[in-house]
Structure 1
């Protein structure tokens, strides 16, 4: 009996030991399971802690012409301020200067290999040098990864930032523009004239305005970019925008009729009495003032004129008097009727010097500046066009920008300054100077063209 009890007791002890062992194992499994179940939370907590960890502090230098006086200036400043609130680790240094000073600054920065992380470039031969020298990055990868960003640009906008021989897209455009004539409706009514459609119509309007003792056109002729813009528009209406590529390829010499005839048309405007007696001395500010104060009936200018004539610096109510019409075409060149000087202008490039988080934030800031939301804000505040589609409120953007946009929609081909097709810097500079000299009647179109060809010959 005693032995049986001992045997039973021993057996029970063995069973108990096994159960304890199994329970212990089960407990471990339970702990493992519990640990596994809590692992997403732990991972989430870890991720949250990581996301809350201080990010690397970076500084972004951004260079542009968006000073407080620029039509885009106030909106751009607001967008950047909001960006730095969203990204407190980022300090943005704004290197904003007037265009001429900005160009000199970027030239010096480029030579010193000290370009800002973000800076403005323009489509054309000059920008191709940045690409060749690998000074700016290809944004294709980032555009393709964000279809909303890529699809937000107006049709064909990104094509302007592609360069032959270098696959990719090298900047994100913010500015878009069209050029044409802005006119004072009241002064037109006084002279009994309507917006002209053809070149001959324009000359007739100039004659009637003069007869009514109204200066037909304001122009800041002392600044050579004004004459270069006028020449560009005449070139496209005479030849079509595609013809400008002949300057780049050297298939079209400056002494060709295609170049000389638009220069002759500039002289024709002067001889028709299109400008005031002191047009030679007027700068761009005087051009704006003459038009905005009713001293001239028309301006040939870009879409930025909307902001100049309707913004806070213009006379109260003046914007309601302003209308727009496309640059008149030549009746015997009607096939080029819808060739416009216009398209994409200032675009944001990212310097190849930017690395790591600084590069990520530079791209993020460029995306923000060229977003649909930013475009809406800029258009409504600046009363100007952008290269990004946006559903703007006409009550905020104004009727004139809507009129310009509607007229621009009739264009079939757009191209920028003729100077963008001249890759040789000395010839490029001379092109500006000589179009100005022709407009001031200081040189004949033929002699100006020969000087340009002689300058180009030095590049060979």
Structure 2
């Protein structure tokens, strides 16, 4: 998939809820019981922007899942992501959701569909099929964090976030990989003193900056820091939460993001890092596609390292708790889940991880059961990290309302350029949360 298409999809995810759930699934109040005719096809409703998942499924239908496809042919339908929520609500009201479909643009819609009995009990079905262990524990942890403790989606895509760094610049300047926040600040200062921009970041998007706030919160207050805000037992305006915003604002005040960070878009930030103009770049593992592209990566994939967000002295969090997401989630309809559908799901669970990695370089939340050579050392590092991770966390706006998400992203540049104080930034976002 072209990296621009990947990026467009990522942004929809990264903003987590930018599209409003304006319509209510009024027809989902039933139990989901009753009988329905056996499906004639294994229908997958995909968003137009995501070509990877449907291409990999098509490959499986002609190879590892050929038998399952003969019994229940794969049928792919597409719809623009901007129209997805309305389409799902329409189909739910008609009791006509397909076998498998791209979930709503925010977890709230899928939860509503599940409450109405429209979504299959995925954990129960996978356990019954004997393939629950084919999902990486970290991916399961992420899905459950998004969906109120329930496994309501399949991890056709799985991304972790951390800091990519220029190994050559680190070595030339005598910098060891930082393990703590203080060490990260020292590394940034050393690079800055040599005239090297410490961090690349897209202020135009906003979320690459707010990810640093949540990273600090998770390390200082623990993995439930933002769950407490969502539950109302803590507020972003509490001193220990404002402290995180202060730390990120200080990076900007020291010039560590370079000049004009508020106007820097995603492409430019990526280019700064891949051409050696910056030493570090906080980003998700989807950036591996850019790193593997020699036309974009002028420093060489061999010179890119990956490290977790560092520990905060005295903090309650752990550096092996990585912020993560599953892209645009995919879930399963309850009405069409029969034995033939189960056979397809079982085959997918066993084979999708290898196929997606081999053919598309995409890391998923499924086990890779057929050995696949990684595109680079850093890609191997990320994949091993995912396999060994047991508990992951979400991102800053993951549980926010649409309004709070928008305000967070648009206010982030002001936080690092000094036009908005840390206290005011947190007050603005908290006020939006209070009105949801």
Question: What TM-score results when the alignment is normalised by the length of structure 2?
Answer: 0.76
Q: How do 1:344-355 residues align onto structure 2 when only pairs under 5 Å count?
A: 346-352=328-334, 355=336
2:123 to 133, 137, 140: 140
Cα distance in 2, alignment partners of residues 120 and 386 from structure 1: 15
Q: Which residue pairs with 1:399 in the alignment?
A: 377
Question: Given the alignment of the two structures, is residue 415 of structure 1 paired with residue 393 of structure 2, yes or no?
Answer: yes
Q: How do 1:227-306 residues align onto structure 2 when only pairs under 5 Å count?
A: 227-306=209-288
Q: Which residue pairs with 1:386 in the alignment?
A: 364
Deviation sequence 1:189-243 (CA, Å, 0-9, x none): 3333222222122122112212222222111221133233222212211211122
Question: Given the alignment of the two structures, is residue 430 of structure 1 paired with residue 411 of structure 2, yes or no?
Answer: no
Query: Counterpart of 1:297 in 2: which secondary structure?
Result: strand
Query: Counterpart of 1:169 in 2: which secondary structure?
Result: coil
Cα distance in 1, alignment partners of residues 279 and 146 from structure 2: 43
Question: Given the alignment of the two structures, is residue 445 of structure 1 paired with residue 428 of structure 2, yes or no?
Answer: no
Cα distance in 2, alignment partners of residues 253 and 429 from structure 1: 18
Q: How do 1:34-183 residues align onto structure 2 when only pairs under 5 Å count?
A: 57-58=40-41, 60-64=43-47, 67-68=50-51, 75=56, 78-79=59-60, 82=63, 86=67, 87=69, 90=73, 92-95=75-78, 102=81, 104-113=82-91, 117-121=99-103, 127-147=110-130, 149-155=131-137, 157-162=139-144, 169-183=151-165
For structure 1, which segment, 247-256 or 384-393, has the greater mean C-alpha deviation from structure 2 after superposition?
384-393
Say whether the 8 Å CA contact 2:223–2:317 is kept in structure 1. no
Cα distance in 1, alignment partners of residues 174 and 228 from structure 2: 42
Change (3 A) 1:325 1:214: same
Q: Which residue pairs with 1:41 in the alignment?
A: none
Query: Counterpart of 1:112 in 2: which secondary structure?
Result: helix
Query: Counterpart of 1:60 in 2: which secondary structure?
Result: strand
CA drift of 1:299 comes to 0.7
> Which fold has the larger relative contact order, with Cα–Cα distance below 8 Å and residues 6 or more apart in sequence?
2
Say whether the 8 Å CA contact 1:224–1:436 is kept in structure 2. yes
Cα distance in 2, alignment partners of residues 429 and 447 from structure 1: 15
Cα distance in 2, alignment partners of residues 164 and 302 from structure 1: 17
Question: What TM-score results when the alignment is normalised by the length of structure 1?
Answer: 0.73
Aligned length: 392
Change (3 A) 1:346 1:363: farther
For structure 1, which segment, 122-131 or 252-261, has the greater mean C-alpha deviation from structure 2 after superposition?
122-131
Gaps of 5+ in 2: 1-37
Cα distance in 2, alignment partners of residues 211 and 167 from structure 1: 46
Say whether the 8 Å CA contact 1:84–1:90 is kept in structure 2. no
Cα distance in 2, alignment partners of residues 324 and 163 from structure 1: 24
Query: Counterpart of 2:233 in 1: which secondary structure?
Result: coil
Say whether the 8 Å CA contact 1:383–1:401 is kept in structure 2. no
Q: Which residue pairs with 1:456 in the alignment?
A: 433
RMSD over aligned CA atoms reads 3.5
Q: Which residue pairs with 2:14 in the alignment?
A: none
Query: Counterpart of 1:273 in 2: which secondary structure?
Result: coil
Query: Counterpart of 1:307 in 2: which secondary structure?
Result: helix
